[in-house]
Amino acid sequence: MSKQKAQQDKAKGGGKSDKAAAPVKTIALNKRARHEFHLEHRYEAGMSLEGWELKSIRAGRANIGDAYAMVNDGELFLYGSQITPLIQASTHVIANDRRTRKLLMHRREIDQLVGKIQRDGYTIVPTALYWKGNKVKLEIALAKGKQAHDKRDAARDRDWAREKQRAMRARNKDA
């Protein structure tokens, strides 16, 4: 009887194997990365964090503006990210706000990144830090640096799109 009930629940959508999409809440963005790099392919990586870091992230004290990722000995690490410790955080732990943090990815993905970095001259740039369920995830991107003229072209395109939008809004307002 319990087997039939489980099948009925699964048919109704109540089965536990069907995972609901976890809400994604952004913690920190690296807007400068989009300005200074051509972002090619994005990956999602987990982060190895300590307890005080999670508390600080919940309080919104994370910054990935100056961060970058590198592969050392086949493992991926995040350098330069800042998670400022809370004052009331644990007193028996000495908190280092800019410590090197290990990124968690599948071996196949790390091997792809290593290949692109060594062959094609890419770099790994963190673009966003966010909650996925109760886990902290980091979005990293394979990136190539922009030249000064590329940055000017991007600014010109952005300004043109803004002007075009204003003109369309003004025209539609009159109609």
Q: Three-state SS for 142?
A: strand
- Count of other CB atoms within 10 angstroms of residue 24: 11
Instruction: Please check whether residue 34 lies inside any domain of the structure.
Output: yes
- Characterize the bridge pairing of strands 101-104 and 37-47: antiparallel
Instruction: Please check whether residue 10 lies inside any domain of the structure.
Output: no
Q: Could you tell me the residue range of the domain that residue 138 belongs to?
A: 22-170
Instruction: Please check whether residue 123 lies inside any domain of the structure.
Output: yes
Instruction: Please check whether residue 17 lies inside any domain of the structure.
Output: no
CATH of the domain at 140: 2.40.280.10
Answering whether pTM is above 0.75, one says no
Residue 85: enclosing H or E segment and its boundaries?
none
Instruction: Please check whether residue 58 lies inside any domain of the structure.
Output: yes
How many domains are there within the chain?
1
Q: Where are the beta strands (DSSP E) in 74-122?
A: 75-79, 82-83, 101-104
As a whole number of angstroms, the distance between CA 56 and CA 60 comes to 6
- Characterize the bridge pairing of strands 75-79 and 62-63: unpaired
Per-residue pLDDT of the chain (175 residues; tens, 9 = 90+): 455 545 545 455 444 444 556 667 888 888 887 777 878 889 999 999 888 888 888 888 888 888 888 888 889 999 988 888 888 766 777 777 888 899 999 999 998 888 888 888 788 889 889 988 888 899 998 888 777 766 777 778 888 889 888 888 888 877 6
Instruction: Please check whether residue 148 lies inside any domain of the structure.
Output: yes
As a whole number of angstroms, the distance between CA 2 and CA 11 comes to 14
Instruction: Please check whether residue 4 lies inside any domain of the structure.
Output: no
The DSSP bridge partners found for residue 71 are 76
